[in-house]
């Protein structure tokens, strides 16, 4: 493959991946507790390049990497920084204030963790997430008796002034061990551990919103689109030069 095409195509693919990430962030602008994804790029190792598939005796194999700096691979990381708090006055809404802390949610796939505290009650008065997954308390599933529900700033849940349950909040120090399962929920992987917190600090009647700025994300999308178009133009230019070189050679 032409070295110029190799570099331009690699850069274009990275920008395509970045567009996907920014678009997904913007699609979740109203998703409570959403944590933005960020793209990271790094120069490929020689073993990842096209040249590594050539024969070891081919003198151009090693040189392909040496002569093609800046060829990159793209990956993503989750930004777990805190998002802005929005007051809702809903007695079942609650926002976490401590970093690295999460509510525990039970799903058919197992225990998951989220910063989204927009809870509600189902027909059986079980405390559930917006999509109907059971919110975990200190004793398991939280089922509330009839009456006025209040969530206190330490996670205790009272009905008509009497405490009947408490939200289960955990701390996860190794955030790299969390894998996203959907928009705002994560699961532990790679041996990560969740440590229970006895007296969490929460804000009743409020929720944590996504942790990215919409205007900045739109500017990033425009810049990324322009960069992608530049790579496209480079590919076309290189291709035209190659075709012209072949025509000259034939003449």
pLDDT at 249: 77
Q: Consecutive 10-residue runs of the chain (251 residues): their mean pLDDT?
A: 64 77 90 90 58 49 46 75 95 95 94 96 95 92 94 95 95 93 90 87 96 87 79 74 76 70
pLDDT at 134: 96
Q: What b/e sequence results for 199-212 when a residue is b if at least 16 CB atoms lie within 10 Å of its CB, and e otherwise?
A: ebebbbebbbbbbb
pLDDT at 79: 93
pLDDT at 121: 96
pLDDT at 208: 97
The answer to whether 113 and 100 have CB atoms below 8 angstroms apart is no
């Amino acid at each position: 493959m032409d070295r110029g095409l190799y570099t331009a195509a690699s850069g274009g693919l990275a920008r395509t991946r970045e567009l996907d990430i920014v678009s997904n962030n913007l699609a979740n602008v109203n998703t409570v507790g959403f944590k933005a994804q960020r793209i990271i790029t790094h120069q490929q190792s020689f073993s990842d390049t096209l040249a590594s598939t050539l024969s070891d005796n081919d003198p151009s194999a090693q040189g392909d990497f040496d002569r093609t700096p800046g060829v990159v691979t793209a990956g993503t990381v989750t930004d777990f920084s805190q998002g802005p708090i929005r007051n809702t006055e809903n007695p079942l809404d609650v926002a976490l204030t401590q970093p690295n802390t999460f509510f525990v949610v039970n799903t058919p796939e197992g225990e998951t963790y989220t910063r989204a505290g927009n809870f509600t009650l189902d027909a059986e008065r079980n405390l559930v997430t917006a999509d109907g997954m059971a919110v975990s308390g200190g004793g398991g599933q939280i089922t509330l008796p009839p009456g006025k529900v209040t969530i206190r700033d330490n996670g205790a849940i009272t009905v008509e002034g009497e405490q009947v349950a408490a939200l289960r909040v955990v701390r996860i120090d190794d955030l790299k061990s969390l894998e996203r399962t959907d928009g705002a929920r994560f699961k532990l992987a790679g041996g990560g551990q969740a440590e229970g917190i006895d007296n969490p600090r929460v804000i009743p009647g409020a929720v944590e919103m996504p942790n990215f700025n919409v205007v900045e994300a739109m500017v990033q999308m425009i810049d990324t689109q322009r960069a992608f178009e530049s790579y496209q133009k480079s590919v076309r230019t290189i291709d035209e030069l190659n075709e012209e070189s072949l025509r000259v050679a034939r003449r």
